[in-house]
Structure 1
């Protein structure tokens, strides 16, 4: 559910931590923990916060985008990649976030996730590509390799992937 500033103030106890501080604490925890499970839990929480547009400015200010970008560039853990692309997918609807993602991550790392065997990663990757597609990104997105993967996913038994691939092929690449 999307929130308003009034709702946030009403739900935050008088001496409670505000949203920006809480996100900052999560970022610090992610950066300072050596526990893989803690990193996964924090990254999942950050991806969930990325769902609500009211958090977008806080997310930019405290460095959450930087964490998602770092994970997609450097990590190999399917679990961490799943949470990072979910966060990116949730955030890239916003033009400021999309610009940041394209500037500091680029499409190469997102497109590389089309090779994943994880259906959630694939769904979030296709959705992200749909969201960031425009005349500037078209040459990187509409490539023979991307089209080939999406044509294969169109025929998969997973209805979510099949539908997303079909939408992509029809609407973005205009291939039926």
Structure 2
């Protein structure tokens, strides 16, 4: 029974990652278009999927714990497959695992691209704001050190040799 549960969990995780990847593509297009409202809406839609993914991960850990014994919730898929699956079924499960891993990798790449696009957009906005409203910086070596002091008198006690 646990083998069927694990297969259902892995297939649900693949579907969840596919949905998140499609949303990441939509988010990329919204970022390129400069549509902040659409990016916010997509982010809100992602939240339930991320929560579902967390629940699926907890189920996966529970199945592993039941199959391999207490303390094995963090065991790898390979350890679980070696202990539970018959030799002739391992190739089929390895394909399922690799499919999930490729979906996770694709989602990670899409999210990294979106993060880079957002960071670059913010840099562009800050650059343009800086051009529109430049900051004036006072440099210590270009200001008059006597600002605010009374002017020196004509007869300051120095001898001027130029006269």
Report the TM-score, using the length of structure 2 for normalisation.
0.26
* Rg larger in structure: 2
Q: Which has the higher contact order (CA 8 A, sep 6+)?
A: 2
Report the TM-score, using the length of structure 1 for normalisation.
0.25
